[in-house]
A and B are shown apart, each in its own frame.
Chain A
Amino acid sequence: MIEVKSISKSFKTVSALSELTFSARDGEITGLLGPNGAGKTTCLRIIYGLLRADSGQALIESVDANRYPLQARSNLGIFPDKFGLYERLTVREQVRYFGELHGLQAEQLEHSVDNVIERLDIASLADRKSAGFSQGQRMKVALAQALVHNPKHLILDEPSRGLDVMSTRILRDILREQRAAGTCILFSSHVMQEVAALCDRVVVMAAGKVAAEGTPDELCQLTGEAALEDAFVKIIGSDEGIAA
């Protein structure tokens, strides 16, 4: 369970988030939907403790991410906004590295690494160095890094960006599997189809605030529109910055 409680954050004079409140439940996929610059990445960075909120709390299993970032992160799998791979290491070495950083050791570590490589179906890549990987392959490696310690919460920042149809489908399958395993998944996106196809609940953000919250159907009913995209436009009040 991830709870965001009235978080405010401003950079110098620019207010990025103001009194943002929502929660993401276990065994559900929560989509954070908003146009570019709505504060999605800032919000996620506060949740994994990389940015400090000016006021308010982000709780992961009731652990305050700002006060105890290490403890909060040990329960998190993260797929950041920018993920760079270590191109001189093999996939297995990278995944093992992050497993070790999560405190996994010896047999447990090897087991977790083998397990995540199998789950993501990247055995054929495992002993190759990641230089020259395609975007889809890189996405899988980044996911493997995020999932190696079997986190109860998964945070993804626009995971489908740059992926082709096949890779996007694989990503969705993986997320659904995780959901079935009871993981709390929070992901940000500005791609409507993806949110509609995947999310149990949608939090629509605009200008650092929650503009609406509910299942995709509820949002459509709320606005009286048939398609989520139209509902979204109506909610945020403009059609600026929405990817088709």
Chain B
Amino acid sequence: MSAYKTIWKKEFKDALRDKRSVLAAMSYAFFGPMLMAVAFFFLISQLTDPSDVKISIDGKQYAPELIEHLRENGIVERDTDWPAEVTPIELSIPENWAEAIASATPIAVTLRADWSAQKQQSDIKRVEQALQAYSAQIANYRLILRGIDPRVIQPVQVAKQDMATRGSKAALIMGSVLVFILLSVFWSGMNVAIDISAGERERNSLEFLLSQPVSSQAIVIGKVLAASCFALFGAMLSLILIPIIFSFVPLHQIGMSVDFSLEMLLIMFLALVPLALLATSLQLFVSFRAKNFKEAQTYISFLLIIPMAASFGVEFARLKTPLLYYLPLTGQHQTFLSLIRGETVNWLGAGVSAVFTLVVAVLLTYLIGRMLKSEKTVFGL
């Protein structure tokens, strides 16, 4: 058997017996989607709150029609007191309501609320919209009564055509889920990568391993493959768990649909293979330079910021340049985005970025091999 396979097999077996490594690989894949699903669950239930808005109404006896209109729009007077920590939403109708309506003069209706309160945003908006709708209704009646077409006061009519498909709306929310899947290859293999490099040095077994009649390249290849297996194991776990967990989130209530077809998941997994190799070779490159486990951990946490910043940056800045399709990490990200939006994937871009990613991974692996030949890195001279 070739030496790299021997090392791969041994490191994999060794890591599987390390509870910390296995737990690290699994917990990210498991708890991450879980947390995200819970967050979405609350977001959706807040956005689609169908219950009545209960507000305080002062002077309702002066404007029974307005009150009726509000009631039809799901805004009713509260019969309980406001809780202490919530700023009340109060509507005051002045005494001269009927008089002002009859004489067609403006009426000052006061709406008192805390506009900065995150939780009451949608409530306040609903009250405002209902009031404006009522105002527009009366305006129309008045114009018609005076023999004027109400359309004269609407010179510009904005026709809103929502081009968002169900899928592309979902992409907005699913974008962060995609970043999460991408990062799974960086997280899941991390502990193994540290353990078989800086850990090996710390446990004093590195010198003996390097004294075997095996090229340092074979040693590094075996180690990269072992850690990559863990990274891909974590990625696979997230790819399996995310569709399952998200099937419980009522995305359709906010007009979204996400279908994770088996084919899509398979393409995602394949796209993650070169990325996993890049992630682990990068982690090994860094942690072989560290003197011990702790030092390596520090470096690698810094290293994690790079893919996180890159993918979240692209995600939130809505960065659009064709270059993104061809680079490592962003290329896989774009492929994922296209897949989830139901667009056609830029296969050329996906291919180029896969090759690019692989080339960088191989280059890094080669550099680590050279590094292990240098007495400076081996003995930390």
* Residues in A lying within 8 Å of B, measured CB to CB: 11-12, 48-52, 69-71, 73-74, 76, 78, 80-89, 93, 97-98, 100-103, 105, 142, 145
Contact = CB atoms under 8 A, between A and B. Distances in A.
Nearest to A51: B375
Given A50-B378, A52-B375, A101-B3, A83 B204 contact: yes
A100 B17 CA distance: 20
Contacts of B200: 84
B212 interface: yes
A87 B14 CA distance: 9
A86 B11 CA distance: 10
Contacts of B7: 101
Given A85-B205, A88-B14, A89-B13, A105 B1 contact: yes
B381 interface: yes
A187 B7 CA distance: 28
B353 to A, nearest CB: 36
B343 interface: no
A84 B211 contact: no
Given A86-B205, A88-B18, A97 B6 contact: yes
Which of B200, B207, B211, B379 has most A Cβ within 10 Å? B211
Contact of A78 (B10, B208, B378): B208
B139 interface: no
Interface string B136-152: 00000000000000000
A102 B213 contact: yes
23 contacts: A11-B381, A48-B211, A50-B378, A70-B213, A70-B214, A73-B212, A73-B213, A83-B205, A83-B208, A84-B205, A84-B208, A85-B203, A85-B205, A86-B10, A87-B203, A88-B17, A93-B13, A97-B6, A101-B213, A101-B214, A102-B213, A142-B208, A145-B208
Nearest to B375: A51
A74 B205 CA distance: 18
B46 interface: no
Contacts of B1: 100, 105
B213 A81 contact: no
B210 interface: yes
B220 to A, nearest CB: 14
B34 to A, nearest CB: 29
Contacts of A82: 204, 207
Contact of B213 (A71, A88, A93): A71
B6 A81 contact: no
Report, as a range, how many residues of chain B touch the other chain: 20 to 34
Contacts of A103: 213
Nearest to A74: B213
Interface of B: 1, 3, 6-7, 10, 13-14, 17-18, 200, 203-208, 210-215, 375, 378-379, 381
Contacts of B378: 50
B213 A84 contact: no
Which of B10, B200, B210, B212 has most A Cβ within 10 Å? B212
Contacts of A71: 213
Nearest to A102: B213
A84 B6 contact: no
Nearest to A149: B213
Contacts of B379: 51
A7 B236 CA distance: 53
A84 B214 contact: no
Nearest 7 interchain pairs by C-beta: A84-B204, A84-B205, A82-B204, A84-B203, A74-B213, A73-B213, A88-B17
A126 B208 CA distance: 20
Contacts of B214: 70, 101
Nearest to B199: A84
B259 to A, nearest CB: 42
A156 B288 CA distance: 26
B48 to A, nearest CB: 51
Given A74-B213, A100-B6, 5 more contacts: A50-B375, A70-B214, A82-B204, A89-B13, A98-B212
B205 to A, nearest CB: 4
A131 B283 CA distance: 27
B248 to A, nearest CB: 38
Contacts of B205: 83-86
Contacts of B18: 88
B212 A102 contact: yes
Nearest to B209: A101
A76 B211 CA distance: 9
Contacts of B212: 73, 98, 101-102
B23 to A, nearest CB: 14
A123 B36 CA distance: 52
B6 A101 contact: yes
Nearest to B14: A88
A97 to B, nearest CB: 5
Contacts of A88: 14, 17-18
Contacts of B206: 84
Contact of B211 (A50, A85, A93, A100): A50
